[in-house]
Structure 1
Amino acid sequence: MTKILGVVLAGGLSTRFGSDKAQALWRGRSLLDHALDALAPHCASLAVCGRDYPGVTVLADRPEPGQGPLGGLNAALHHAQAHGFDGVLVTGCDMPVFPAALAAALVGDGPAVLEGSHLAGWWPASLAPLLDAHLATETNRSLRCWFDKTAPRHVRVPDFAMPNINRPEDLDGMEKG
């Protein structure tokens, strides 16, 4: 059985949202709480990257702050490798759902991402040294640049569109939906 670390990337600046979107409320709870709860059924353990959060393992970006999502992913991969996890199932704090069909489609041989999403994905812990090298030599910190290096599978889940909340009106649309 695959031992999975679930990680929520929550260190973004929320520039388009205008306030801390990880703490924005949806159905009476923070988006970060929803993201953690959505990952929990699929994972042996949970962690948050990019911010302090009580009751959950908190991972500091690696090798240092300011690396964007790759810094959080790198911290997660190293934590997974050091603690016997096979890999990391990742989502963003602005993605408050993670159905079982998505987890099943992502977890497997090699890295995988949800088609159309930059954050929802599966990353084997064995990629930690490769991401270290990438961050040490590449000035482009985009996920797309990392994807070019790792060629993740792009998976689709029928009848599922991952909500992604970037602006307050996106959250308003979730409330109405």
Structure 2
Amino acid sequence: MKQQAIHGLILAGGQSTRMGTDKALLPINGRPLLYRLASQVAAFTQTVTIAIGAPQRESLYREALSDLAAQVSFVTDQFPGCGPLSGLHAGLSAIADGYVFIIACDMPQLSAPLLQQLLSRIDSGADVIHAAGQPFHAIYHTRTAAQIQAALEAQDYRLMGLLNRLQTIEIAMKEGSQSTAFTNLNTPEDYNKYTAE
């Protein structure tokens, strides 16, 4: 799958308030969640960037990534405290021109069938390729960084509002690809349920 000219961005700058601990460092099968995601994303992208919010997280995340750390780059928010839109802006502003697969660090399950559906629409020229109602586990073009910056400057932090202003393609979910792709680990209950399965 590496023949696709696509980059990867993991959003890991959130406060993890409901979880009570840094979601990116939650252990999944003996490895931090961030390691799991970075290795999955690296398998099909040219580069992997992690939006970490604040700069003090970088050393912690480098340690968590261990042998993968040399393969990733880290970016910090230019608009601190503005939610996932600020991480999206930081990442897309730093990545070379082109399409970027974006996943949030609390989404533990990359879906290969959904990914193939997204990648199959890259030639469309759309700003964003995503599943209905889902701003992440999606593909964005780096040119959207300017519109994201305008939204941040206007203090409009709504992700779905942003998608409504961009040229998007909504893909219809194939049977079975939705069940795990949009799992979120927001609370200790979510985490316990996921790790017990």
- Give the alignment's TM-score, normalised by structure 1: 0.87
Letter in 2 for 1:104: Q
Who is 2:90 aligned against? Answer: 75
Q: Tell me: CA distance 1:157–1:165, structure 2 relative to 1, closer, same or farther (3 Å).
A: farther
In structure 1, the partner of 2:66 is none
1:26 aligns with 28
1:22-71 deviation line (CA, Å, top 9, x unaligned): 11111111111111122122211101102413222001123x21121111
Provide the C-alpha distance between the structure 2 equivalents of 1:115 and 1:157, rounded to a whole number of angstroms: 12
Aligned to 2:187: 167
Equivalence for 1:90 = 102
Q: Percent identity?
A: 28
- Residues 26, 171 of structure 1: 8 Å contact kept: no
Give aligned pairs, total.
172
| Post-superposition CA distance 1:120-143 (Å, at most 9, x none) | 21101122222222222x222121
**Letter paired with 1:10:** A
The counterpart of 1:121, out of the listed 138, 141, 153, is 138
Cross-structure match for 2:175 = 158
- Tell me whether 105-114 or 86-95 shows the greater mean CA deviation: 105-114
Cα deviation code 1:58-114 (max 9, x no counterpart): 01123x21121111111221122xx3x412110011112213322222231310223
Q: Is the 8 A contact 2:135 2:163 kept in 1?
A: no
After superposing on structure 2, the runs of 4+ consecutive aligned residues of structure 1 that deviate more than 4 Å are none
- Report deviation, 1:116: 4.5
Residue segments in structure 1 that go unaligned for 5+ positions in a row:
none
SS of the aligned residue for 1:42 comes to coil
Which blocks of at least 5 consecutive residues in structure 2 are unaligned? Answer: 63-68
**Residue 91 to residue 175, structure 1, CA distance change in 2 (3 Å):** same
In structure 2, how many angstroms separate the alpha carbons of the residues matched to 1:2 and 1:86?
11
Give me the TM-score of the superposition, normalised by structure 2.
Answer: 0.79
Q: Give distance in 1, aligned partners of 2:167 and 2:188.
A: 33
